[in-house]
Amino acid sequence: MKSRLWTLVTVCVWALCGMGLPQAANSLPKIVVIATGGTIAGAQPSASSYGYKAGAYDVNSLLKAVPNLDKLATITGEQLASIGSQDMNDEIWLKLAKRVNEVLKSPDTDGVLITHGTDTLEETSYFLTLVVKSDKPVVMVGSMRPATAVSADGPGNIYNGVAVLVDPVAKGKGTLVCMNDEMHYARNVTKTDTTSVQTFKSLIRGPAGQVHTGKTFWWEPMDRKVGSATEFSVDGLSKLPRVDIIYAHANMSADLIDAAIKNGAQGLVIAGVGDGNMTTPALDTLTKAAKAGIVVVRSTRLPMGIVLRNNEVNDDEKGFVASGELNPAKSRVLLMLALTQTKDPVRIQKMFEIY
């Protein structure tokens, strides 16, 4: 009699508590985490040490360090690279993009989280937003403090990143970057501070929204073409065209422009002074280069602002492209992809207006 009473009490408590319990594990969204290295996987000799080695921990160790992640989603992890993102290159970009496309094709995957170093995260995210052919969400996270640091920011960023992925609103927005409680569109975000945790900013447009302890608040819509809506594809691509960035300054000569072209650059992005300006010798050399079929994009070395077409420089006459809102690093990504389709500066200018 006593034991039957206990069974009844246990069943009632279970039923009552069940209302507040998370979904059963197998009905949770399925997220694949692809790790590439970076400070988020970095290890210091001791918690108070200054230096560290990026990419020392593997994907499973990163996931284990995040409390309650298994309540948000069913997660599987894979290691694609273990590098500091200063070593990111075209080969890994192509491998990563192809893998993300493959994983998202599966009906068993609802979204992909990518862990990445912060140095080139803004470039990788823009590359992915242009070539991932799925509406399912892709979120990239990194950290400014190594995994072993006091107040490491990686686990919080991973938790929030997965929370964004399981939010149905994240669908169809291209690749998002989730750092320091904010969500950013890949196209808009840039790293602004060498070491602070509040380094990622969408300087011109502001963040896409906020994500706090797993709760999302969306602010800005995405008005540019991303993912399946772009004309770019990595299918069958084994190489990307070479595009170099050249930094403008007082007394700039044309020597580095000549060197870049001599070494095989098919496109050049100028991190110009002011509104994409440069010295007369640099301008003259680039005018000749553009006539010879090198695609020249004028961007700016300034952190903010729009590089206007035909403002101080006559782009129509010279056959140049104006970068608009895109900084030099992002202009380089778009120009590389553009060159897989065309060398026509007029068509490429259009791409800078729609992507």
Rounded to an integer, what distance in angstroms lies between the CA atom of residue 225 and that of residue 303?
23
Backbone angles phi, psi at 322, to 5 degrees: -100, 135
Per-residue contact track with ligand ASP, 197 to 236, x per CB under 6 A?
----------------------------------------
Q: Which stretch binds ligand ASP (CB under 6 A): 26-34, 80-88, 151-159, 242-250?
A: 80-88
Does position 192 interact with ligand ASP (CB under 6 A)? The reply is no
Burial of 189 (0-12, 13-18, 19+ CB in 10 A): buried
- 3-state class (DSSP) for residue 196: coil
Active-site residue, 39 included: yes
Does position 38 interact with ligand ASP (CB under 6 A)? The reply is yes
Per-residue contact track with ligand ASP, 105 to 124, x per CB under 6 A?
------------xxx-----
Q: CA torsion angle for 342, 351, 319, 305 (degrees, to 10)? A: -150
Task: Give yes or no for a contact between 18 and 31, defined as CB atoms under 8 angstroms apart.
Answer: no
Please say which residue, 160 or 285, places its beta carbon nearer to ligand ASP: 160
Which tokens hold the place of 199? 């380094």
Does position 300 interact with ligand ASP (CB under 6 A)? The reply is no
User: Which is catalytic among the residues 36, 39, 115, 118?
Assistant: 39
Instruction: Tell the smallest beta-carbon distance from residue 57 to ligand ASP (Å).
Output: 12
> What residues form DSSP beta bridges with 209?
183, 218
Reference 141, options 179, 170, 174; nearest CA is: 179
Reference 227, options 95, 88, 101; nearest CA is: 101
Which tokens hold the place of 144? 């400014």
Instruction: Tell the smallest beta-carbon distance from residue 205 to ligand ASP (Å).
Output: 23
Instruction: Tell the smallest beta-carbon distance from residue 193 to ligand ASP (Å).
Output: 11
Does position 44 interact with ligand ASP (CB under 6 A)? The reply is no
Task: Give yes or no for a contact between 211 and 164, defined as CB atoms under 8 angstroms apart.
Answer: yes
Total residues at the site for ligand ASP (CB under 6 A)?
11
C-alpha distances in angstroms, 346 versus 89, 320, 322, 342? 28, 8, 10, 10
Q: Indicate which single residue of 31, 32, 54, 162 sits in contact with ligand ASP (rule: CB under 6 A).
A: 54
Does position 319 interact with ligand ASP (CB under 6 A)? The reply is no
Does position 142 interact with ligand ASP (CB under 6 A)? The reply is yes
The site for ligand ASP (CB under 6 A) is made up of 38-39, 54, 84-86, 117-119, 142, 144
Active site residues: 39
